Amino acid sequence: MDDHNPNMPQSAAGSTLPTVSTHIYPRGALDVLSREEVARLRDASGAGLHDLLRRCALAVLTSGSANDDPRAAQELYPHFDIEVKQQDRGVRLELRNAPAMAFVDGQIIRGVAELLFAVVRDLAFSAIDPDSASEPDTTGGITDAVFRLLRNARVLFPTDPNLVVCWGGHSIGQEEYKYTKQVGYELGLRGLDICTGCGPGAMKGPMKGATIAHAKQRRRRTRYIGITEPGIIAAESPNPIVNHLVVMPDIEKRLEAFVRMGHGIIVFPGGVGTAEEILYLLGILLREENAHLRFPLILTGPTGAAPYFEQIDRFIRLTLGDAAAERYEVIVADPPRVASRMRAGIQQVREQRIAQKDSFFFNWALQVPLEFQQPFAPTHERMAALDLHHGRKSHELAADLRRAFSGIVAGNVKESAMQQIEARGPFEINGDPDIMRALDALLCAFVAQRRMKISGDYRPCYRVVA
């Protein structure tokens, strides 16, 4: 970074917020590029990607924000802009009216700078990589695209299996947040690294707990991986502990990245996004070709979360059957046991990968069907057309249930879906009466427990029709 120019623009609300205008140079994935690659990157960022780049960059520069409204940061910093400049030695980012909270004495915080260049790297990958010019339409092609994105982000390491994916809500109470830290601490003591959705709440807690444990164990090469996607990052800014940020093109590739990279998954209490993740994984594991795969899955929370997991368990058994419930274990209020069970499960994963000659860093053996890979952009018509009825194969029903929850997530935090709902009213979801009753009870519980959103009073973006 060469220079800076503090400014004091007016926010949309009329208050004055300090900003900084400066330019910075990348470290890592964007520091060695050919002139042709730099030119393509510049052209992409200056055309169709510019607005997306601006919104995602602003989310990173306001890391640590407790607001989950994707429009809030844009309203507070309406004059912020970012531009990719070409130089013989690579690229330079021009920041204008950037939030001053990302700087100390005019110098951008190093971790923020790393996350910022991760955003540029991932959003522009399709412009730099000729193989990503068109969207793959086969299962193998999509999985290969996920692999290339992760490899480009430099998060695939040929090390022993030790990566635990932690799912859970961004809007959780203090008791649950402290519990996620305790579990993260126990995982860290056992030499396990953490991967989450990169945001606040249950995505931050395990990382925070693990940092202390890793320091005690004198582990210097630690991974706190955050995997997000453009529609989510604007509402859930990366937490400051993330040291490897990956922005996948859509929610489906994000979910596949979790299950391909992770060696085990822990689920903390959450809302519709967490339910979507559970259904995604169970729908895959229920397929016959994946029945033999070792994949430890633990649902856990403090004592007060026991009713939450009981309700989740009832919903899964009603919709997907008892076979789905056999794929996970519920442990309440026992962080050491959670970590020990996960460590033992990952050891079984290691032994199976060795026996099958599969890689440790990317789970090629897991079969992810096309219906779990194809992007689902929710509209009123698509949400109403979901087939939520008994009599279907369990993994097929899981795929549509996952889409239903994904649509609600979009209506809660993604600007494009929010605009649709403002124009046409809530999404309607229909299906068999018993499934709809169970779904409505689950969603009402999420609302009552304030698991839908952090900021503001929640107005449902959906309507369940029996």
- At 366-424, the pLDDT tens digits run 999 999 999 999 999 999 999 999 999 999 999 999 999 999 999 988 888 999 999 99
Position of tokens 């008994």?
A: 390
Total tally of structural domains belonging to the chain: 2
Which residue among 132, 156, 183 closes a domain? 132
- At 210-267, the pLDDT tens digits run 999 999 999 989 999 999 998 888 778 899 999 999 999 999 999 999 999 999 999 9
Which residue among 89, 106, 132 closes a domain? 132
68 and 188 assigned to the same domain = no
**Poorest-pLDDT segment among 30-44, 280-294, 335-349:** 30-44
What is the SS3 string spanning 254-303?
HHHHHHHHCCEEEECCCCHHHHHHHHHHHHHHCCHHHCCCCCCEEEEECH
- At 409-427, the pLDDT tens digits run 999 888 889 999 999 999 9
Q: Quick check: 237 and 115 in contact, CB under 8 A?
A: no
Q: Which of 299, 287, 295, 285 lies closest to 348, judged by CA? A: 295
125 and 239 assigned to the same domain = no
Which three-class secondary structure state does DSSP give residue 380? helix
Q: Check residue 27 and give its pLDDT.
A: 64
Chain-centroid distance of CA 197 in Å reads: 3
293 and 390 assigned to the same domain = yes
Q: Check residue 48 and give its pLDDT.
A: 63
Q: Is residue 142 part of a domain?
A: no
The whole-angstrom separation of Cα 73 and Cα 313 is: 37
Q: Which residues constitute the domain of residue 204?
A: 148-466
Higher local confidence (pLDDT), 234 or 111 = 111
**Poorest-pLDDT segment among 238-247, 265-274, 298-307, 444-453:** 444-453
Ranges of H-type helices in 190-229: 205-216
381 and 355 assigned to the same domain = yes
Q: Check residue 269 and give its pLDDT.
A: 95
The residue-averaged pLDDT of 345-365 equals 96
The residue-averaged pLDDT of 174-194 equals 97
The residue-averaged pLDDT of 95-112 equals 93
| Exposure on the CB side of residue 112, measured as CA atoms within 13 A | 20
This prediction has a pTM of 0.90
Backbone angles phi, psi at 83, to 5 degrees: -140, 140
Q: Check residue 134 and give its pLDDT.
A: 57
The residue-averaged pLDDT of 52-79 equals 81
128 and 163 assigned to the same domain = no
Higher local confidence (pLDDT), 128 or 143 = 143
Q: Check residue 130 and give its pLDDT.
A: 54
Q: Check residue 102 and give its pLDDT.
A: 93
Task: Output DSSP code: residue 370.
Answer: G
